[in-house]
Amino acid sequence: MSELLGVNVGVSQNLGKVAKIGGKRYVRVDMGDADHLKFVPLGGRLMNSFGVGGKMFEGDLIEFDAEKQTLKLLKTFEVAKAVSATDTELYISQGEGADYGYRHLPEAGNILMKAPTSLTGKGTAALMGVFVPTEITEGGKKIKVWKADITADALGALAKGDVLVEAVEAGASKGMYVTNPNTFNPIECVFTNPVMQGEDPYTGAIVTFAPIAEGLYYKKRMCPLPACVSALNKSRITAYFSL
Amino acid sequence: MNTENPLKLDDFLAIWKSDNNRYLQEFFDASAFLDTKYGFCYENFVPDNALTPLGPDGVTTFASAQRRLSPDAMAKYKAAMAKNIGRDVEGFMAYTGSIMPFGDALTPVDVLAQTQWEETEQLLGNASSIMSTWMTNVQNLVNSADSLFSNQAAQLMSTGKIVGKNSEDGAVMYVQDALIPEENKVTAGAKAWTDADCDILDQMRIIEDAYRERSGDDQDLNWRIPLAMWRNVFLKNTGLIAKVKEWRTIQELPTSSGGTVLEAWVVAYLNSLGLTSPIRIVHEGEVKQDPINGGFSDTRRNVKGWNPDAAVLMPAGTSGLIKKGVIQKAKLFSRFSNESAIKYNIAYIRGGLYAVITSVTHDANGLPVYHVDLEGNSAPALTCAPYMTIVDTKTAD
């Protein structure tokens, strides 16, 4: 509490905060209507909210439960460098070129797995520790990544470009956290507060919003989609994505 | 609205179509049709006149500052030149909370309904029945908001918190915690109040004395007891019944009615005894329809916001303010709506705690569709949290 509402006299604090305010990434295929405002009734609470510094983007896929008012964001993480069965470091891309910054934030406590081949498929999932932003050279290019230490073979062998997703729990033969992406996120959001613990509002925030049931997006500009999610694409136009 | 001549359909349709954006407001204000069916919140909380601002990060935050009472003590005898012992300087307790949007709506109706209304008017010669039926529906919308407040107010007063969700196993969408001091959350006393041989009044007296001693608070307090506890615990307590009978025997009054004592007798006994602060019975209850099947649950449940096991000792006056924020939809409608695409009318109810918005769109092949929405962004907030004692009546010390 005190950290939120403290009043200091005689103590100085120095810090900087930086943000890109405004701007809008062109991800929605503009068909001249207002698809992005066709919110579902009531909306819901984001159950796998980010902590401070996380972002979600327009066109992200959401699993909406209209009865429980829950929203689960399909967080996807692109492997930036191949991981062999003996490697103990995992690198997640922060996005290259125009995609830089438009990537979900991996956080300590995430349970990640390589996306299975089908939405109901199983795989090996591991609890992640701290991710540290850093830079690596890959294919002669410097790319910004988040790095985490893992135990060898925690996620099996991974190739550059593989997509990791959240799993329901850690261990062998576990399923994905989001198994029925049915809506899109219409609004870009920066998470400025920690996630609320239990029902104590002084620990953090509850994030609520309404997703949209229809949408048409440029695949290239969405967060990386694993093959099992790409397979849901209803659009018959290459390069577009819809549900 | 013309009240002398028979009501015409055009008067009714003006609710959506009038060029005067305040028509609906004037209509509600003038007709005084809307009742308060769920008044529990309004009995205990006063609408805040000030608007709680919406922050740039999307949070409507209010701040509440409260002074904690602490017992004072007499000054000390000392030598003339001796230093004094400093006493702690009390600060004030502040907390912030956010308020949460809520809403409800009537099913939008289209030009077919309008045609039906026209035929009904021709049949009956006026549009009164159409109007009164519609007002019943609007009353239900207003009830939905009032009962939500009622539930929130009862939760706040009996637990110090609001935990808001639309169904039992649904996600918690809203939490507010008024930070009632931990030392003010106490257990029942020597025995659980539900024990038939518990001396409830004496245990209440001990709890009240302990609070007054601890805080130095000498303001008027009330005990708030939920109706079910009053009926099932107080009026069935053998010790209390015996005392009431004894008291009435002394006055040569009847002592039994159908084998037990009457509520009024107990109240009169307690008032004459003066052992505790006055008891106020909490009458509060709402109806909840869970959003199963996408919002169309077959079952409606009676719910209460008040924790059924909680008795609360709190200041006698109002308990707090109903904070209100900007209603996003009303703001967007009034600033950006396009007259040729949509026509709207906004009536703010209960001093802007929520609004009824009527709008007519032309999205069905250019034919009109009539919408009625209730939109609110407000919640009650306690201002007396430091002076409240919540008793868990089912748990003995």
Confirm if B8 and B121 have CB atoms less than 8 A apart.
Answer: yes
**Which one, of B13, B15, B16, B21, lies nearest residue B360 by Cα?**
B16
pLDDT at A1 over 60: no
Per-residue pLDDT tens for B109-159?
A: 888 888 999 998 899 888 888 888 898 899 999 999 999 999 999 999 999
What is the reported pLDDT for B271? 82
Hey, are the CB atoms on A4 and B96 less than 8 Å from each other? Answer: yes
Hey, are the CB atoms on A67 and B292 less than 8 Å from each other? Answer: yes
User: Any idea of the CA torsion for B17, B19, B21, B23, to the nearest 10 degrees?
Assistant: -70
The least confident of A38-52, A164-178, A214-228, B2-16 is B2-16
pLDDT category, A139, cuts 50, 70, 90? confident
Residue B284 makes CB contacts below 8 A (sequence gap 6+) with B40, B150, B151, B153, B154, B226, B304, B305, B306
Whole-angstrom distance, CA of residue B253 vs CA of residue B101: 55
Confirm if A147 and A89 have CB atoms less than 8 A apart.
Answer: yes
DSSP 8-state symbol, B257: B
Per-residue pLDDT tens for A24-61?
A: 788 888 877 766 778 998 899 999 999 998 999 999 99
Hey, are the CB atoms on B177 and A200 less than 8 Å from each other? Answer: yes
| pLDDT tens for each residue of chain B, 397 residues long | 445 567 888 888 888 888 887 888 888 887 766 788 899 999 999 999 888 888 777 777 887 777 666 667 788 899 998 988 887 777 777 777 888 899 999 988 888 888 999 998 899 888 888 888 898 899 999 999 999 999 999 999 999 999 998 888 889 999 999 889 899 999 999 999 999 889 999 999 999 999 999 888 888 999 999 999 998 999 889 888 888 889 999 988 888 777 678 888 888 888 888 888 888 899 998 888 777 776 666 677 788 899 999 999 999 989 999 999 989 888 888 888 777 778 888 999 988 899 999 988 887 678 889 999 999 999 999 988 889 999 999 999 8
Hey, are the CB atoms on B177 and A66 less than 8 Å from each other? Answer: no
Per-residue pLDDT tens for A92-105?
A: 999 988 888 899 99
Average pLDDT over residues A120-128: 96
pLDDT at A232 over 60: yes
What is the reported pLDDT for B142? 92
What is the reported pLDDT for B300? 76
The length of chain B in residues reads 397
What is the reported pLDDT for A22? 67
What is the reported pLDDT for A2? 37
> B73 in contact with A at a CB cutoff of 8 Å?
no
What is the reported pLDDT for B4? 59
Report the 10 Å Cβ neighbour count for A117.
11
What is the reported pLDDT for A3? 45
Confirm if B360 and B14 have CB atoms less than 8 A apart.
Answer: no
What is the reported pLDDT for A147? 96
Contacts of A1 in chain B (CB under 8 A): 95, 179
Hey, are the CB atoms on A199 and B163 less than 8 Å from each other? Answer: yes
Lookup result for tokens 């290239």: A220
3 state SS of B129 = helix
Dig out the tokens for A235 from the structure.
């659009």
Dig out the tokens for B129 from the structure.
């029945």
Whole-angstrom distance, CA of residue B371 vs CA of residue B357: 8
Give the Å distances, CA to CA, from B225 to B16, B110, B154, B177: 45, 48, 11, 21
The question of ipTM being above 0.85 is answered as: no
Q: Which residue is closest to A40 within chain B, CA to CA?
A: B294
DSSP 8-state symbol, A83: B
pTM across the whole model = 0.86
User: Any idea of the CA torsion for A21, A26, A32, A33, to the nearest 10 degrees?
Assistant: -60
Give the closest of B94, B167, B175 to A201, CB-based: B175
Nearest 5°: CA angle at B253, between B251 and B257?
145
Dig out the tokens for B141 from the structure.
């919308």
Whole-angstrom distance, CA of residue A178 vs CA of residue A56: 15
Hey, are the CB atoms on A192 and B176 less than 8 Å from each other? Answer: no
Residue A9 makes CB contacts below 8 A (sequence gap 6+) with none
pLDDT at A174 over 50: yes
B102: enclosing H helix or E strand? strand B101-110
HEC profile for A187-225? CCEECCCCECECCECCCCECCEECCECCCEEEHHHCCCC
DSSP 8-state symbol, B305: S
Residue B396 makes CB contacts below 8 A (sequence gap 6+) with B187, B188, B189, B190, B191, B192
Name the pairing type of β-strands B221-226 and B279-282.
parallel
Q: What strands lie across the sheet with B389-392, from one edge to the other?
A: B185-187, B389-392, B310-315, B221-226, B279-282
Residues of A with CB under 8 A from a CB of B: 1, 4-5, 41-42, 44-45, 47, 66-70, 192, 196, 199-202, 205-206, 208
Hey, are the CB atoms on A68 and B57 less than 8 Å from each other? Answer: no
Residue B289 makes CB contacts below 8 A (sequence gap 6+) with B297, B299, B300, B301
